[in-house]
Copies of this chain bind each other. A is one copy, B any other.
Amino acid sequence: MRIGTVGTGFITNYILDNIEKTDGISCHAVYSRNEDSARRLAEKYHIEKTYTDYERMLSDDSLNFIYIASPNSLHYSQTKSALEHGKNVICEKPFTATAAEAVELIRLAKENHLFLFEAITTLHQPGFHWVRKNISLLGSIKMISLTFCQYSSRYDSLISGKLPNVFNPEFAGGALMDINLYNIHFLVGLFGKPDRIEYFAGTHENGIDTHGILILQFGDIICQCSGSKNTTCENNVQIMGEKGYIHVSPGSSNCQNSRLILRDSECSFCQKETPWYYEIQELTKIVQSNDYERCYQLLENTEIVVDILEKARKSAHLSF
């Protein structure tokens, strides 16, 4: 996997840190509209080439993968161009702003026999696999509580009157898209498509959701997903069954400590590495083993998640 990156924010740094640690994947080009940003990132990670013209990077035959970490609203068009140039794509979460866009990109990837991934940590965590393996021990599951509240440094900027991308409706921002999404991926990874979706959002005066609680129902299982970018708290996932519960901390994006508590026994599982390490390891493994089936399975989850996000926004009358 010979990668070219789009975007120079902190998430790109996390990904590049872990590309360096992983065999079979390497970065060879950095694209940014801003030449200085591109150069700074390329120097830090000893990357040969920089581009300020996206089309030119897509025409670079030495690259076979594009990693996209631009503002949310650009994911669709940049991923589409990359696929049309025959490049495989890893696109940051949230995958696209609308469900229709997701469907189109997935169709395009399949038609052209390309790999396409949403870069979401949740499903690649060993802790998440451990939860999925043990969940049947809980008996009939009744409720799940997922909390991911993280005060964003950019929230200070928002309330001081500026408009950072993550709080900009035009850039498909907000707490649901940016953070509660991890809670949704966790649930979709366990149960697939929900039967009911209701979002209760707290909004800034520009209409963006800064915090909110999403209710998802899967049959008789009732789940609450709390996500905010303007508060913090003790985050976790609690899966409650008739016979016991599973407690995951710090939560749905990083299943570091998972515990299974039954009436008369208890056991636990601990991850040692960062979430991005596992993500890069697993995506590389899928590509090296030519496992398109697993790739398209993961895209099914992505498609369900993007659909939930859209329906949730509608239920809360959010503007984009």
Question: Which residues of A are in contact with B by a Cβ distance under 8 Å?
Answer: 142-143, 145, 147, 149, 151, 155, 196, 198, 200-202, 210-213, 215, 217, 220-224, 226, 228, 230-234, 236, 238, 240-242, 244-245, 247
Interchain residue pairs with CB less than 8 A apart (23): A142-B211, A142-B228, A143-B212, A143-B228, A143-B231, A145-B145, A147-B238, A149-B240, A155-B242, A196-B200, A198-B198, A202-B221, A202-B222, A211-B222, A211-B240, A213-B224, A231-B240, A231-B241, A231-B245, A232-B240, A232-B244, A233-B245, A234-B236
Of A142, A151, A221, the most chain B CB neighbours within 10 A belong to: A142
Give 6 A-B pairs besides A145-B224, A224-B226, A231-B240 with Cβ atoms closer than 8 angstroms.
A142-B211, A142-B231, A143-B213, A145-B233, A147-B238, A201-B222
Query: A231 to B221, alpha carbons, bound, how many Å?
Result: 12
Asked if residues B244 and A202 are in contact (CB atoms below 8 Å), the reply is no
Asked if A145 and B232 make an inter-chain contact with CB atoms under 8 angstroms apart, the answer reads no
B142 engages A230 (CB within 8 Å): yes
Question: Which B residues touch A212, using CB under 8 A?
Answer: 143, 222
Complex-state Cα separation, A155 to B224, whole angstroms: 23
Given contacts A233-B247, A234-B247, is CB(A202)–CB(B142) below 8 Å? yes
Number of copies: 2
**Chain B CB within 10 A, most for which of A230, A233, A244:** A233
Contacts of A241 in B (CB 8 A): 231
User: Is there an interface contact between A215 and B213, defined as CB atoms closer than 8 Å?
Assistant: yes
In the complex, the answer to whether A228 meets B200 with C-beta atoms within 8 Å is: no
Closest to A240 in B: B231
Docked Cα-Cα span, A137 to B222, in Å, equals 33
Q: For the complex, what is the distance from the CA of A38 to the CA of B155, rounded to whole Å?
A: 61
Chain B positions within 8 Å of A143 at CB level: 149, 202, 211-213, 226, 228, 231
Contact of B200 with A215 in the complex, beta carbons under 8 Å: yes
> What 10 A-B pairs come out closest when comparing CB atoms?
A231-B240, A233-B238, A233-B245, A142-B211, A224-B224, A142-B231, A233-B240, A213-B224, A200-B222, A202-B220
The 8 Å CB contact of A238, one of B202, B234, B247, is B234
B residues near A221, Cβ cutoff 8 Å: 202
- In the bound complex, residues from chain B placing their C-beta under 8 Å from that of A149 are 143, 240
Q: Given the interface contacts A233-B247, A245-B231, does A210 sit within 8 Å of B142 by beta carbon?
A: yes
Residues of B within 8 A of A198 (CB): 198, 200, 215
The minimal Cβ–Cβ distance linking A174 to chain B, given in whole angstroms, is 14
Asked whether, in the complex, the Cβ of A200 is within 8 Å of the Cβ of B213, the reply is no
Min C-beta distance of A316 to chain B, whole Å: 10
- With the chains together, A226 CA to B215 CA distance in Å? 11
* Chain B residues near A211 (CB-CB < 8 A): 142-143, 222, 240
Chain B: minimal CB distance from A208 (Å):
13
Q: Residue on B with the closest CB to A212?
A: B222
Tell me, rounded to whole Å, the shortest Cβ–Cβ distance linking A212 to chain B: 6
Chain B residues within 8 Å of A213, by CB: 143, 215, 222-224
